Amino acid sequence: MTELREPIFDGRHSRTERLIGAEALERIKSAKVAVVGLGGVGSFAAESLARAGIERFVLLDSDCVTESNINRQNIALYSTVGKLKTDVLRRRILDINPGADITVYPIFYGKDTARDVDFSGCSYIADAIDNVTGKLLLVETAARLDIPLISAMGAGNKLDPSRFEIADIYDTSVCPLARVMRRELKKRGVPALTVVYSKEPPYAATFDTATAAAQTAASADTAASGESPDIRVLREITGNPPISRTPQKNTGNPPPRLASSPGSYRKPVPASISFVPAAAGLLMASRIITDIASL
């Protein structure tokens, strides 16, 4: 009796085409996607998009890979520490698809640099920026250019990747970043925004005393001028208490400074683990691909 075997599919996109069909795959391959922010969420989103068939990218991030990135970012290895994230991810995507067309911007996305970024021809924008100001600016830019955008909310201080879901920003709950974004978007008259967010309450992070002291100093610096949306979100995510408006007693000692950055003060830093931001990035990529391919 002759044994029936499944046909062997060769080629980079053969399994994808088998799932979604040739026409959908061609729509994916002809699209162009911008990924802004290449950390734990953005790096996984970008790689997943490349493996799914996206061939044209705009990649934006000002940071270099650090040792602390290794626990959650696919571009972070000891061999890449100190290198620009945009360059590392560009090389990684080219190793997946040597014919990929990739434009990189190793800059911080803000009001002074936004005009330098060319989003023309983009089919979609993935927002994985880690600050409120940049996220709001990118949302407004995408709306002005009529480019669909999906925005990642908080992935820090969480342990359950199954709690992530895709929703409109005004239907979100629990997430501190989503709460601030809802308020700020409403002020700006933005009627809707597709986001990836989690209903898992943030865990209170565990800090060593040096980190806690540095964060206290950062809070004291901010108190005089009022708490910014970015500091407020980070404080809520990390479990830090509200900033005191009570004048601080002058002890005569300078506030703690970071050994790695003389003269600077550290903002609250969310805790993280390997599988949570990755899940958010993959979910983000799934929405982008299904929208582009009309699945």
Q: How many CB atoms lie within 10 A of CB 98?
A: 7
> What phi-psi label fits residue 43: left (phi over 0), alpha (psi between -120 and 50 degrees) or beta?
alpha
- My answer on whether 180 and 141 are in the same domain is yes
Can you tell me the mean pLDDT for 256-261? 42
**Tally of structural domains, the chain:** 2
Least confident of 108-117, 133-142, 150-159, 242-251: 242-251
Tokens of 205: 């992070």
Is residue 245 scored above 60 in pLDDT?
A: no
Q: Give yes or no: residues 186 and 222 share one domain.
A: no
Question: Per-residue pLDDT for 79 more than 90?
Answer: yes
Together in a domain, 156 and 263:
no
* Backbone angles phi and psi of 197, in degrees to 5: -145, 170
Q: Residue 58: name the closest of 115, 2, 151, 124 by CA.
A: 124
| Residue 11 belongs to a domain | no
pLDDT of residue 204: 80
What would the mean pLDDT of 129-146 be, rounded to a whole number? Answer: 98
Both 197 and 226 in one domain: the answer is no
Q: Are 106 and 47 part of one and the same domain?
A: yes
Rounded CA gap, 108 and 36, in Å?
10
Q: Given a cut of 90, is residue 263 above it in pLDDT?
A: no
More confidently predicted of 166 and 205? 166
Least confident of 82-86, 99-103, 201-205, 228-232: 228-232
d(CA 65, CA 83): 6
User: What is residue 269's predicted lDDT score, i.e. its pLDDT?
Assistant: 85
In the chain, pLDDT over 70 holds for what percent of residues? 75
160 and 258, same domain (yes or no): no
| Structural domain of 173 | 20-203+273-292
Q: What is the mean pLDDT of residues 64-74?
A: 98
Model confidence at 173: pLDDT above 70: yes
Q: Are 41 and 75 in contact (CB under 8 A)?
A: no
Whether the pTM exceeds 0.85: the reply is no
- Mean pLDDT for 125-147 is 98
Same domain, 165 and 128: yes
In a shared domain, residues 254 and 282 = no
Report the CATH number that the domain containing residue 31 is assigned in CATH: 3.40.50.720
Q: Calculate mean pLDDT across residues 86-107.
A: 99
Domain presence at residue 13: no
174 and 108 in a common domain: yes
User: Which pLDDT tens digit goes with each residue over 25-56?
Assistant: 999 999 999 999 999 999 999 999 999 999 99
Q: Is residue 182 part of a domain?
A: yes
150: part of which helix (H) or strand (E)?
strand 149-152
Q: Return the higher-pLDDT residue of 267 and 45.
A: 45
Is 80 exceeded by the pLDDT of residue 256?
no
Are both 237 and 283 inside the same structural domain?
A: no
According to the model, what pLDDT value does residue 158 have? 97
Q: Are strands 101-105 and 194-198 parallel, antiparallel or unpaired?
A: unpaired
Same domain, residue pair 193 and 253? no
Same domain, 227 and 122: no
pLDDT band per the 50, 70, 90 thresholds, residue 211: very low
Element (H, E) at 167: strand 164-168
**236 falls in which pLDDT band (50, 70, 90)?**
low
4 inside domain: no
Residue 220's pLDDT is 43
Answer whether residue 14 is part of any domain: no
